[in-house]
Amino acid sequence: MTKYSFKNDYSEGAHPVILQRLIETNLQQTVGYGDDIFCNEARALIKEYIQRDSAIHFVSGGTQANLIVISSILRPYESVIAADSGHIAVHETGAIEATGHKVNTIPTSNGKITPQQVQEVLNLHTDEHMVKPKMVYISNSTEVGSVYTKSELTDLYQFCQENKLYLFVDGARLGSALTSSKCDLTLEDMAHLTDVFYIGGTKNGALIGEAIIINDQELNENFRFHIKQRGGMLAKGRLIGIQFAELFKNDLFFEMGKHANAMAKKLADEITSKGFSFLTEPSSNQIFPIFPNHLIEQLQENFDFFIWQKVDENSSAIRLVTSWATPEEQVDQFLNQI
C-alpha cells in the first residue's frame, strides 16, 4: 500500500484548471521562446498584482532562475551574500560557483538574515584581494519555513539601496509566504522592495515554471541572452505562460497557498496542543515538529516525510510539507496517530 507523503509540495501534478487550459489551447499555434500570447497574458495578469511595469521572464525551475539571475547581474569578481541555509548555498550543487561567483554565507538558525549581518560581511571585504559582495539573496519563505515581514524586508531593501547592493528574493515558496498569517507582505510589496524576485509555480500548483520579475529595468538589459545561454529558454514557452495565466486568474495562486498553509496550521496547532514543540516556529507550509524517535518510526509506517535532524538521543525534528493538493483527511489521519 502506498503511504501518503508529506515530503514536499511537488509530489502531485498541477491544479486541474491548468491541465484543462492546456487541453483547450493545445492546437492553437503560437510563436516560440516565451513571446507568445499566453506568456503575454500571464505577464499582464501578474502586472496587475504587482502594480509595476517590471520585466517578466519564465523559466523551468528554481535553480535555473537563481543561476540565471545571479550570473546576469554580477561582474566576475562580485559575490552574493546568503544565509548559510540558503538554497544557493547548500542545495544547488554549486550552481552559482559554476557561473564563477562566490556565495558569502551568514550563519543563521531561523533562515533569515538582517542588515546588521550583511554589514558584517561587507566589513570583511575591503580591497581587490577579496571578492566584492554586490547582491543579497534571501528566500521567502525560507528553507526552514520562516517568513519575512514587511518591516524586515523594508529594512533589508533600504540597507541594500544605501550600500549599492542588489536584493534578490527566491520565491520558490512565495505562494505560501504571502498567504501566511505571519507575513504581511503582498505581491505588490515584493515588486517594490526588491530589485529582482521570482514567483514559484512548481511548488504551488504548476507542473513546472517560475516567473522572474525584474523591477530594476537596468538589470533587464539583454536578459533573454542570459536565459538562452544557460539553457533556460523553452521552445514551447507557452507551457509556462498558460500555467501562470491560470495561476493569476481568480486568485488561484493565493488560494492554493492558503490551502497549503491551512493544512500546515492544522497540523501545527494540533501537534502543539498535544505538547510537542518545533524546531522553528510554524509559519508557512513547511513545519518541523520534534517527536520522540519511537513515534517517528510509528508514523513512518503510514506516512512519508523527511527526518530533518537529530535533536537529542531520543528525539528528532521531522519536516512536514503541505501543498495545494493536501487532502484534509490525510492531515486528520496523521494527527490521529500522534
Q: List the interface residues with a copy of itself, window 19-78 (CB under 8 A).
A: 19, 22-23, 25-32, 60-68, 71-72, 75-77
Using CA atoms, how far apart are residues 315 and 310, in angstroms rounded to an integer?
Answer: 6
Least separation, in Å, of the C-beta of 72 and a copy of itself? 7
Which residue in 47, 224, 249, 266 binds a copy of itself (CB under 8 A)? 224
Residue 176 within binding range of a copy of itself, rule CB under 8 A: no
- Beta bridge pairs of residue 79: 133
Around Cβ 61, how many Cβ atoms within 10 Å? 16
Contact between 88 and a copy of itself per CB under 8 A:
no
85 is a contact residue toward a copy of itself (CB under 8 A): no
Cell of 313: 538521543
The alpha carbon dihedral of 70, 74, 79, 83 has a sign of: negative
Q: Which is closer to a copy of itself, CB of 94 or CB of 292?
A: 94
Q: What is the largest CA-CA distance in the chain?
A: 61
147 makes contact with a copy of itself (CB under 8 A): no
Residues 277-296 that bind a copy of itself (CB under 8 A): none
| Contact predicate 8/176, CB 8 Å | no
Is 193 or 206 the residue whose CB approaches a copy of itself more closely? 206
Q: Which residue has the cell 550600500?
A: 163
Q: Single out the residue of 82, 160, 214, 234 in contact with a copy of itself (rule: CB under 8 A).
A: 234
Taking residues 99 to 128 in sequence order and writing x for each that binds a copy of itself by CB under 8 A, - otherwise, the string is: xxxxx------------------------x
Q: How far apart are the first and last CA of the chain?
A: 21
Q: Does 165 bind a copy of itself (CB under 8 A)?
A: no
- Return the number of the residue (24 or 48) whose C-beta is nearest a copy of itself: 24
Q: Which three cell numbers stand for residue 87?
A: 538554497
Interaction with a copy of itself in 184-203: which residues (CB under 8 A)? 202-203
Is residue 135 close enough to count as binding a copy of itself by CB under 8 A? no
Cα(254)–Cα(45) distance, integer angstroms:
14
- How far apart CA 264 and CA 320 sit, in angstroms, is 8
